[in-house]
């Protein structure tokens, strides 16, 4: 997975490493249901225009996410990740059981949960491997119960080396 890297620009490529304080642990719970979510279709559901309120909300959460990384605040990171008001409300309902999976992750102790990229993988954040395993079980169970989908899970510790330009 690599450490956190902010992509400031793709053209020209401009990457900014964001260190997560080394004394803090961070784990990602990745749960992938047996469901196809083509990126083209998932992009097509996104709104062409957004309200100023939603724009401000998402920009505020993006800024809070960066602050959370720099401060090593897993709770704020999770809350920021979970507060999308533009993309997740449109894509979430297209992935069977996704909103119930998110709720199950949060109820089991995840600091936050959202759709990874265009989906269908869900990603949750926690601070121990043990919590991660319990969250993974709850998320897989909910994909089965509410989405009627089999799912696979993995718990990954933050790799502090981070992404590199090759």
Q: What does the domain layout of the chain look like in residue ranges?
A: 4-157
Q: How many angstroms separate the first and last alpha carbons of the chain?
A: 16
Rounded-to-integer distance, Cα 73 and Cα 51, Å: 29
pLDDT attached to residue 74: 94
Residue 143: which of 110, 108, 95 has the closest Cα? 95
- Average pLDDT on 141-165 reads 88
pLDDT attached to residue 141: 98
pLDDT at 94 over 60: yes
17: helix, coil or strand? strand
* pLDDT class of 93 with cuts at 50, 70, 90: very high
The CATH code of domain 4-157 reads 3.30.70.890
- Average pLDDT on 19-25 reads 83
Q: In this predicted model, which residue has the larger pLDDT, 86 or 19?
A: 86
Which secondary structure element, helix H or strand E, spans residue 70, and what is its range? helix 52-71
pLDDT attached to residue 1: 37
Which secondary structure element, helix H or strand E, spans residue 127, and what is its range? none
- Average pLDDT on 91-108 reads 96
Q: Calculate the average pLDDT of the chain.
A: 92
What confidence tens digit (pLDDT) does each residue in 43-73 have? 999 999 999 999 999 999 999 999 999 999 9
pTM flag (> 0.75): yes
């Amino acid at each position: 997975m690599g450490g956190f890297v902010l992509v400031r620009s793709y053209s020209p490529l401009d990457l900014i490493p964001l260190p997560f304080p080394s004394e803090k642990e961070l784990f990602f719970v990745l749960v992938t249901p047996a469901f196809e979510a083509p990126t083209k279709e998932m992009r097509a559901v996104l709104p062409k225009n957004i309200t100023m309120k939603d724009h401000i909300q998402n920009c505020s959460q993006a800024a809070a996410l960066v602050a959370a990384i720099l401060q090593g605040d897993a709770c704020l990171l999770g809350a920021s990740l979970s507060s999308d008001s533009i993309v997740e409300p449109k894509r979430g309902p297209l992935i069977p059981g996704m909103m119930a999976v998110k709720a199950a992750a949060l109820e089991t102790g995840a600091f936050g949960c959202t759709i990874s990229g265009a989906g269908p993988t869900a990603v949750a954040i926690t601070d121990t491997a043990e919590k991660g395993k319990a969250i993974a079980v709850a998320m897989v169970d909910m994909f089965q119960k509410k989405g009627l989908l089999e799912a696979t899970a993995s718990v990954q510790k933050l790799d502090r080396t981070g992404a590199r330009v090759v």
